[in-house]
Structure 1
Amino acid sequence: MNNKIINPFKNESECLQIGSLTVENRIDRVSIYGSIDITRDKEGLAVARELKSILDLTLTELESAELPDKVTQKPAKIVKNPFE
């Protein structure tokens, strides 16, 4: 566990891990994937609080913004492999 915090929707570079759970920051989304065990002990409480703080920051940012109905994701751009 680390006590890093992300700034939701502010950049394309922040990424953190809580156990095996990964949180990736993007301009148009926050991606959360993997798994995490929140155990019934002090360590589990700390993990739950860290996860909650990330979600609270994300909710605060979403609630303070004027949001579109849906974000349109740009298709992936295919580039030539520079190592070929």
Structure 2
Amino acid sequence: MIEPFANDHQSMQIGDIVIENQKDKITIYGDIDLALDASGYAQAQQLHELTGKIIAAFEDKSLYSNSEDKSKENDDQSGKYIDNPFI
């Protein structure tokens, strides 16, 4: 189980859902079929535990003021205007 917002290198999978951990966001993609059987129940429990950890991390108010740790995707845009060299 990942620790939400703890690092930029953890990931996990539940069914065909992939959860990627980063310090400033969590990315979830894929799909899952929760069958009404023991396997579906185990997957539902994992989803419940993960979402509980994510909610607990959001409730920790210190995370909202954390502006130091941003993923590379967010840092690529400087907000400065640059002339287009192809025109």
Note whether the superposition's TM-score is higher than 0.5. yes
Length-normalised TM-score, structure 2: 0.72
1:13 corresponds to which of 5, 9, 21: 9
Length-normalised TM-score, structure 1: 0.74
**CA displacement 1:38-80 (0-9 Å, x = unmatched):** 1111111110010111110010011112426xx892227xxxx
Q: What is the root-mean-square deviation of aligned Cα atoms in Å?
A: 2.0
Higher-Rg structure is 2
| Identical-pair percentage | 30
Long gaps (5+) in structure 1: 77-84
**Which residue pairs with 1:59 in the alignment?**
55
How many pairs does the alignment contain? 70
Over 4 Å off, 4+ runs? none
Long gaps (5+) in structure 2: 78-87
Q: Secondary structure at the match of 1:59?
A: helix
Structure showing the higher strand proportion among its residues? 1
Structure showing the higher helix proportion among its residues? 2
